[in-house]
Chain A
């Protein structure tokens, strides 16, 4: 028997069995210097994320949520502590090695979409493949497929300003998925969308989750967090709670 087509945020949602460990963070802290002041953005955070989890990271501003996201996205390295990504320690990698990890293993979805304004949807989705060194023909095909998967097969040659907000975020999601990353890292993915379009995007995430993607959403909205299967709450640079969503 197939599970009923569940609307988001109900108890009847399927929960897929979590797989092997993707992210393992142990006692990570991060210090910033702001003038003469030292800010402890993270004060010893430990976290494990497994394949095919759907995780929301929440917290008020100043809680260290963004810092944790940058860390998870390999955009930043911890001041101290251990960070293993797929069993590899990334805490002390060079800029270019981190760029390689970001390119192959992480698909970013931003609040402001961050599409290149003068390139059409196809070029935008191809970009990670260019940085991965894929040949033009192959990446063209991959990008077309990725756009088709998010329902934009008929919009491939539109530029961002010719697309609606929801469509732009779909292009961004196609771009995030095109390199078959280990995790999707979405930072307030619905923050610049109206609620209806936001719901559509969250439905798309739901589909991706059901197809086996690992998704991490950073948000401050309870409604959005409720789509996830597990919520990590941060406060003052520490994990306040970490548990399943009901």
Chain B
């Protein structure tokens, strides 16, 4: 056991002396491994980042909310099936809530109607276009994920009366009121005056596409009065336990069919959307990145491995006489095998470490340059890439090391 330990330490000494003596050669050899490790770790980081960013975004949408809508979010292939469906209307929400109340042990908490459109919001000289204006009821407070920076949501009275009050997203508030407080000020939305009663805290954007900070929320009755009653509404239904989302989804389908008075055997004339749909959209992207990454990684590691095999063959050839001497002094086959194997593994490990450092630096730079980008460097990557490096070293170094260990000492000693 001790012998093996001494052999190992000796092998590492030899390996590092060898690498130091042949710096340029070692660097060039390690290049393939470096590229491979950079590819594998960057890919890991990207997938990680997508996952994290996605979770964050989903949390913004509210991961315990089901959306009853006319159209599915993704994949509405048989267009005719959907286009003839009845609109989802605020009245559906009231009926649905009645069904929920009459269901014992319902998994659903409440349904809130939400209408939305784009509009511009003005205050004095300042104007913000493309604001996502939503009309909803005071029950919206029960499924909101955003916090208030200032002020409050409209109450039930204001909601029923359709009072012209609104809550602004952070970016809208900042753009219209760069210096003063927006609370109790009156802004103009599509030509109509609304009193600001609240400002939401900063939330960031959904998947980096849609910003939750450029929104405005107003009572549904006010929204319908100025922006039309025939607009598509969606019902946002909060579930009691997000771990039972699937069961809640089934209950909601049944409840909606009762609301719509659909006959058995009839197709649902509504769609229940949930964030899982986004996940399903994302999976092909993720596996695409993984596939491309694996391909690049595999290719560069393959090239790297061949380079290392080649250089180890050269190293064995160069040091044939040394191998003979070592054998004459009592080195066993295992000793020689280990020596060259460890040399190959060391080059790979150094390549792996350099690759990791490059990836880490890239991540830091990206985080610095684009804070919104969810780039996360994980410890697991370090282990994965080190394992990959060691494996590459063993695979590529084995053949030459094996050859070295089987050299006939007489022949090796005579080699010039």
- Write the residues of chain A forming the contact surface with B, with a CB cutoff of 8 angstroms: 70, 73, 75-76, 95-96, 99-100, 102-104, 108, 110, 114, 116, 118-119, 127-128, 130-136, 175, 179
Distance (whole angstroms) from the CB of A243 to the closest CB of chain B: 28
Contacts of B409 in A (CB 8 A): 75-76
Given A118-B17, A133-B2, A133-B3, CB of A175 within 8 Å of CB of B332: no
Contacts of B335 in A (CB 8 A): 131
- In contact, B322 and A116 (Cβ under 8 angstroms): yes
Question: Which of B134-142, B147-155, B260-268, B323-331 lies at the interface?
Answer: B323-331
Distance (whole angstroms) from the CB of A110 to the closest CB of chain B: 8
Distance (whole angstroms) from the CB of B406 to the closest CB of chain A: 8
Q: How far is the CA of A103 from the CA of B6 in the complex (A)?
A: 15
Distance (whole angstroms) from the CB of A151 to the closest CB of chain B: 22
- In contact, B410 and A100 (Cβ under 8 angstroms): no
Secondary structure dominating the interface of B? helix
Given A127-B329, A128-B330, CB of A75 within 8 Å of CB of B413: yes
Q: At the interface, yes or no: B109 with Cβ under 8 Å from chain A?
A: no
Per-residue contact bits, chain B 315-350, to A (CB 8 Å; 1 contact, 0 not) = 000000110111111111111000000000000000
Q: At the interface, yes or no: B370 with Cβ under 8 Å from chain A?
A: no
Contacts of B325 in A (CB 8 A): 110, 114, 116
Q: At the interface, yes or no: B379 with Cβ under 8 Å from chain A?
A: no
Per-residue contact bits, chain B 248-261, to A (CB 8 Å; 1 contact, 0 not) = 00000000000000
* Other-chain contact of A96, B17, B329, B333, B408 (Cβ < 8 Å): B333
Interface range, B side: 20 to 34
B414 nearest in chain A by CB position: A66
Distance (whole angstroms) from the CB of A146 to the closest CB of chain B: 13
Q: How far is the CA of A104 from the CA of B332 in the complex (A)?
A: 13
B330 nearest in chain A by CB position: A103
Q: How far is the CA of A118 from the CA of B318 in the complex (A)?
A: 14
Q: How far is the CA of A222 from the CA of B325 in the complex (A)?
A: 27
Given A75-B410, A114-B321, A118-B21, CB of A175 within 8 Å of CB of B329: yes
Q: Among the interface residues B3, B321, B330, B408, which one has the most CB atoms of the partner chain A within 10 A?
A: B330
B319 nearest in chain A by CB position: A116
Distance (whole angstroms) from the CB of B1 to the closest CB of chain A: 9
Q: At the interface, yes or no: B158 with Cβ under 8 Å from chain A?
A: no
- In contact, B333 and A102 (Cβ under 8 angstroms): no
Distance (whole angstroms) from the CB of A134 to the closest CB of chain B: 8
- In contact, A130 and B10 (Cβ under 8 angstroms): yes
- In contact, B332 and A99 (Cβ under 8 angstroms): yes
Distance (whole angstroms) from the CB of A83 to the closest CB of chain B: 15
- In contact, A135 and B2 (Cβ under 8 angstroms): yes
Distance (whole angstroms) from the CB of B33 to the closest CB of chain A: 24
Distance (whole angstroms) from the CB of A177 to the closest CB of chain B: 12
Q: At the interface, yes or no: B51 with Cβ under 8 Å from chain A?
A: no
Contacts of A133 in B (CB 8 A): 2-3, 6
Q: At the interface, yes or no: B94 with Cβ under 8 Å from chain A?
A: no
Contacts of A118 in B (CB 8 A): 17, 21
Distance (whole angstroms) from the CB of B340 to the closest CB of chain A: 15
Contacts of B55 in A (CB 8 A): none
B331 nearest in chain A by CB position: A131
Given A114-B321, A133-B6, A135-B2, CB of A127 within 8 Å of CB of B326: yes
Given A75-B413, A130-B7, CB of A99 within 8 Å of CB of B2: no
Identify which of residues 82-130 in chain B touch chain A, using a CB-to-CB cut-off of 8 Å.
none
Q: How far is the CA of A133 from the CA of B325 in the complex (A)?
A: 18
B5 nearest in chain A by CB position: A133
* Other-chain contact of B329, A103, A119, A135 (Cβ < 8 Å): A103
Q: Could you list 5 examples of A-B contacts with CB < 8 Å?
A: A75-B327, A103-B329, A116-B322, A128-B330, A131-B331
- In contact, A99 and B330 (Cβ under 8 angstroms): yes
* Other-chain contact of B6, A70, A110, A116, A130 (Cβ < 8 Å): A130
- In contact, B330 and A100 (Cβ under 8 angstroms): yes
Contacts of A99 in B (CB 8 A): 327, 330-333
Q: How far is the CA of A104 from the CA of B328 in the complex (A)?
A: 11
Given A130-B6, A133-B2, A135-B2, CB of A73 within 8 Å of CB of B328: yes
A127 nearest in chain B by CB position: B329
Contacts of B321 in A (CB 8 A): 114
